[in-house]
């Protein structure tokens, strides 16, 4: 399996081009943490259960994404700083369809 | 004043297991937790979710893990101060500590173990620019006394159980209740959703969806809110605005205790005993950080075990002790119970 490239803009506005493995069952929240693009304790607080919105991201490319699950939709309904292109990073798993995905990490609540 | 040997801040899995390990060393524990029940995140956030990496439990629900821990520590009769947040700490001349909660309850102990997980759970505050100015002046994130809303105009924001439940309850108390939610769908219990629908049809609750509050109006206290629905922004007169968006963990007052903080966690010495930069204060479980730290329940259990050995030496510097296996020594509770392995029967064959 190949690594894919992601373009992640951090909360300070700096864009990072990073590689993410498609064979490790990783989600975008974990990719962000693994590259330390957001301080520990400010992202992935619930561990990836779609139960907080600390990994909220704005999707800024046209990649095809999986539908929102009920849990993700419900969490985004309660989250702050939500836009039409908001998704929870923990619910988007690294796969070839996410190659060249552009995202911006939403502000901390 | 509550007196104990080890004062544990945080009654999650790590805090609870500390009681067991301390109990084996005949040390008494008392736990403080901001939540009204023990279990921390396991009880509050995901009681029905399975955990697969607790050794020897191929699968256990988070809520069941907490129930089992409570059962395991029962012989050691821990004390609990629940629904109160540890607020301040004071070090006395004899190197013991007094920890006071936000409700003024005082606890005295020679050892403090912070097992606070991600922090204490506090209400999530919506990012409305001027909201802080109105806290206590018409804005409340928790309803403590519903009577203050009697015959008042109340606006509630949120789409979960607590927003629905309070809208239902206050519809009988307040002169008007308006419920505002960003979506048309609510994610509360079906009964509550149906009840709100019924009250809406009866004209007892006004529902404004999909919409959100963008501003609060009033000189000193709340006089109204600005509501954005689609592209339209309009004003709604009210006396109280209650945003109910659930709870989120915050390190909170512990961050001001003079402890070394790194990555939003308390730095500890992991080569030895998980002590912080203040001797006598330990940090264990998800609340601490050290090179190689993993926020796992099983790591919290390990840290709690080592920490208790160190706490024993701190409390009894002159006593010698070596760790004893429970299989050999059994478990002697403070309640007079004793569990031990059955003795082998030795019988000679004639």
For B265-277, the pLDDT digits (tens) are 999 998 889 999 9
pLDDT of residue B291 exceeding 80: yes
Least confident segment among B93-97, B121-125, B135-139, B344-348: B344-348
Q: Given phi > 0 = left and psi -120 to 50 = alpha, else beta, which region is B257? A: alpha
In a shared domain, residues B189 and B53: no
Region B61-78: mean pLDDT is 98
Whether residue B263 and residue A40 make contact (CB cut-off 8 A), yes or no, is: yes
CATH no. for residue B68? 3.50.50.60
Domain annotation covers residue B181 = yes
Residues 6 or more apart from B84 whose CB is under 8 A from it?
A: B32, B33, B34, B101, B102, B103, B105
Residue B77 falls inside a structural domain = yes
Which range marks the domain in which residue B136 is found? 131-245
**pLDDT band at B254; cut points 50, 70, 90:** very high
Q: Is residue B348 part of a domain?
A: no
* pLDDT, greater one: B13 or B323: B13
Q: For residue A74, what is the domain's CATH number?
A: 3.10.20.30
- Please indicate, yes or no, whether residues B197 and B113 belong to a single structural domain of this protein: no
Say if B207 falls within a structural domain.
Answer: yes
- Please give the tally of structural domains in chain A: 1
| Residue among B322, B2, B258 at smallest CA distance from B114 | B258
- Statement to judge: residues B108 and B156 lie in one domain: no
Mean predicted confidence (pLDDT) in A83-89: 96
Kindly identify which residue of chain A lies nearest to residue B188, measuring between CA atoms.
A74
A36 and B CB contact within 8 Å: no
Give the pLDDT of residue B31.
98
Which of B127, B183, B264 is closest, CB to CB, to A42? B264
Mean pLDDT of chain B: 94
Rounded to two decimals, the ipTM of the complex is 0.82
pLDDT for A1: 60
Let me know if residue B349 belongs to a domain. Answer: no
- Counting the structural domains of chain B, the total is 2
The pLDDT of residue A104: 98
Instruction: Say whether pLDDT at A109 is over 90.
Output: no
Q: Are residues B255 and B117 in the same domain?
A: yes
Residues B138 and B285 in one domain: no
Q: Which residue of B has its CA nearest to A42?
A: B264
Question: pTM of this prediction?
Answer: 0.84
Min Cα–Cα distance to chain B from A50, Å: 11
Record: contact A82-B182, CB cut-off 8 A: yes
Instruction: Note the pLDDT tens digit of each residue in A33-61.
Output: 999 999 988 999 888 988 889 999 999 99
Q: Are residues B231 and B312 in the same domain?
A: no
Q: What is the spatial distance between Cα B141 and Cα B84, in angstroms, rounded to a whole number?
A: 16
Q: Which residues of B95-125 are buried (b: 16+ CB within 10 A; e: fewer)?
A: ebbbbbbeeeeebbbbbbbbbbbbbbbebbb
The residue among B213, B245, B277 that closes a domain is: B245
Instruction: Count CB atoms within 10 A of the CB of residue B93.
Output: 5
CA distance A51 to chain B (A): 8
> What is the mean pLDDT of the segment spanning B155-167?
93
State how far the Cα of B265 lies from the Cα of B283, in Å rounded to an integer: 9
CA dihedral B37, B42, B45, B47 (to 10 degrees): -90
- Domain extent at residue A96: 3-105
């Amino acid at each position: 399996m190949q690594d894919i490239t992601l373009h992640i803009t951090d909360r300070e506005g700096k864009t990072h081009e990073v590689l993410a493995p498609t064979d490790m069952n990783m989600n975008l929240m974990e990719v962000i943490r693994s590259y330390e693009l957001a301080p520990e304790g400010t992202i992935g607080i619930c561990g990836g259960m779609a139960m907080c919105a600390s990994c909220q991201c704005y999707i800024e490319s046209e990649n095809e994404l999986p539908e929102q699950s009920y849990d993700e939709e419900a969490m985004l309904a309660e989250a702050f700083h939500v836009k039409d292109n908001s998704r929870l990073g923990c619910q988007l798993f690294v796969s070839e369809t996410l190659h060249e995905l552009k995202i911006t990490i939403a502000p901390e609540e | 004043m509550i007196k104990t040997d080890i004062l544990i801040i945080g009654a999650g899995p790590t805090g609870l297991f500390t009681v067991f390990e301390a109990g084996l060393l005949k040390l008494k524990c008392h736990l403080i937790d901001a939540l009204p029940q023990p279990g921390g995140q396991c009880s509050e956030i995901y009681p029905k979710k399975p955990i697969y990496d607790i050794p020897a439990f191929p699968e256990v629900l988070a809520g069941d893990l907490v129930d089992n821990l409570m059962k395991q520590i029962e012989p050691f009769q821990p004390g609990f101060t629940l629904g109160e947040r540890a607020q301040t700490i004071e070090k006395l001349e004899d190197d013991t500590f007094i920890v006071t909660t936000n409700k003024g309850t005082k606890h005295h102990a020679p050892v403090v173990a912070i097992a606070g997980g991600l922090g204490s759970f506090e209400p999530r505050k919506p990012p409305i620019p001027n909201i802080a100015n109105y806290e206590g002046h018409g804005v409340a994130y928790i309803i403590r006394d519903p009577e203050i809303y009697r015959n008042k105009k109340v606006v509630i924001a949120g789409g979960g159980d607590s927003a629905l439940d309070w809208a239902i309850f206050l519809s009988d108390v307040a002169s008007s209740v308006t419920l505002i939610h960003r979506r048309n769908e609510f994610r509360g219990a079906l009964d509550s959703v149906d009840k709100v629908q019924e009250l809406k049809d009866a004209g007892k609750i006004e529902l404004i969806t999909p919409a959100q509050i963008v501003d609060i109006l009033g000189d000193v206290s709340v006089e109204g809110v600005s509501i954005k629905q689609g592209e339209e922004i309009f004003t709604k007169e009210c006396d109280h605005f209650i945003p109910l968006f659930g709870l989120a963990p915050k390190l909170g007052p512990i961050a001001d205790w003079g402890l070394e903080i790194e990555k939003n966690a308390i730095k500890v010495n992991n080569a030895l005993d998980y002590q912080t930069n203040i001797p006598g204060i330990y940090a264990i479980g998800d609340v601490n950080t050290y090179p190689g730290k993993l926020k796992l329940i099983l790591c919290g259990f390990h840290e709690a075990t080592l920490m208790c050995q160190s706490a024993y030496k701190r409390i009894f510097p002159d006593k010698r002790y070596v760790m004893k296996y429970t299989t050999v020594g059994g478990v002697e509770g403070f309640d007079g119970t004793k569990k031990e392995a059955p003795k082998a029967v030795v019988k000679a064959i004639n």
